[in-house]
Amino acid sequence: MRILAIGDIVAPSGREYVYNNLGKIRRKYNIDFCIANGENAASANGITAEIADNLIDRGVDVITMGNHTFATHGAGTLLNENPRIIRPINYPSETEGEGYTVQDLGYTRIAVINALGRVNMTPMDCPFRAVEKALAELEGKADIIVADFHAETTSEKLAFGNYFDGKINIVFGTHTHVQTADERVLPGGTAYITDLGMTGVRDSILGVKKELIEKMYYTRKRVRFDKAEGEVYINGAVFDIDHESGKVNSIERLNFSKTEE
């Protein structure tokens, strides 16, 4: 089977791109299941019920989140009500929503887990232990397990991927909005990529107007993160995996705009 994972969808331009093109991309790459990171899908981070519904309508099966999960008003209710949206599992235990979901496609059951890194991020519970606990709970309940590890540093992501090598079928990273070119199958059989990148305006910094981020670093003062405008690129990866054996056949990075399809 073929699983598409889409990196952080940023701002109206990023989500419009997904609304308008996901159907075509799913057909072209023969996609059976699609996971997208939606933590920046709303206009100023987070996600809304309307955006989540639109993404799901257009072909996203599971939406993962990150450090911006609760940026929108009503996010807690949304997470409680929509089992297709998950938040990092290592938030405090009483936090709304779930850290993983299992989707039954009839011929296979796919578990998707979301976790947050702790380096240069808001302190959270240990992602390693939280995911270990989830894996124990998922025993016998899922055939394919996928994890979105939302973290800043390459080393923490590599540690996560290698720690769960052979226990999780696919581990991809999100959050940096910059795609890494290190997709590979780890020795234990896990498909791995450090970061999927971002689906948003390429000529930007993190999806924000680049002049603003330049100014922030130059002056060391806070700036307003106005979103950039321009050509949108989709960033992600397609994982071809045998749903019975769990063997990964291939990993293909996606990084193109509408005019480059």
Which of the residues 58 through 97 are near Fe ion (CB under 5 A)? Answer: 66-67
> Closer CB to Fe ion, residue 37 or residue 169?
37
Of 109, 58, 105, 52, nearest in space to 82 by CA: 52
Distance of CA 141 to the CA centre of its chain: 22
Interacting span for Fe ion (CB under 5 A) from 18-26, 31-39, 53-61, 183-191: 31-39
> Closer CB to Fe ion, residue 67 or residue 101?
67
Tokens of 97: 């929503």
> Closer CB to Fe ion, residue 65 or residue 168?
65
Q: How far is the CB of 248 from Fe ion (least distance, A)?
A: 25
Q: How far is the CB of 10 from Fe ion (least distance, A)?
A: 7
Among positions 175, 209, 227, 243, the unique one binding Fe ion when judged by CB under 5 A: 175
101 Cβ neighbours under 8 A, 6+ residues apart = 62, 83, 84, 86, 111, 112
Q: How far is the CB of 85 from Fe ion (least distance, A)?
A: 15
150, 174 contact by CB (below 8 A): yes
How many Å apart are CA 198 and CA 9, to the nearest integer?
Answer: 6
Residue type, 245: S
State the Cα angle at 211 between 208 and 212, rounded to 5°. 60
Report phi then psi at 189, rounded to 5. 105, 0
Which one is catalytic: 68, 150, 175, 243? Answer: 68
CA trace torsion 8, 133, 126, 64 (10° rounding):
10
Among positions 40, 179, 194, 199, the unique one binding Fe ion when judged by CB under 5 A: 40
Interacting span for Fe ion (CB under 5 A) from 5-13, 20-28, 57-65, 98-106: 5-13
> Closer CB to Fe ion, residue 59 or residue 66?
66
Interacting span for Fe ion (CB under 5 A) from 92-100, 168-176, 212-220, 239-247: 168-176
Q: How far is the CB of 21 from Fe ion (least distance, A)?
A: 20
> Closer CB to Fe ion, residue 1 or residue 65?
65
Q: Does 235 bind Fe ion (CB under 5 A)?
A: no
Query: Is 68 annotated as catalytic?
Result: yes
**Long-range pairs for 154-157 at CB < 8 Å and ≥24 separation?**
154/180, 154/194, 154/195, 155/119, 156/117, 156/118, 156/119, 157/117, 157/194, 157/195
Q: Does 204 bind Fe ion (CB under 5 A)?
A: no
Q: Does 8 bind Fe ion (CB under 5 A)?
A: yes
Q: How far is the CB of 16 from Fe ion (least distance, A)?
A: 17
Q: How far is the CB of 173 from Fe ion (least distance, A)?
A: 10
How many Å apart are CA 53 and CA 85, to the nearest integer?
Answer: 10
Binding residue count for Fe ion, defined by CB under 5 A: 6
Site of interaction with Fe ion (CB under 5 A)? 8, 39-40, 66-67, 175
Catalytic amino acids? Answer: 68
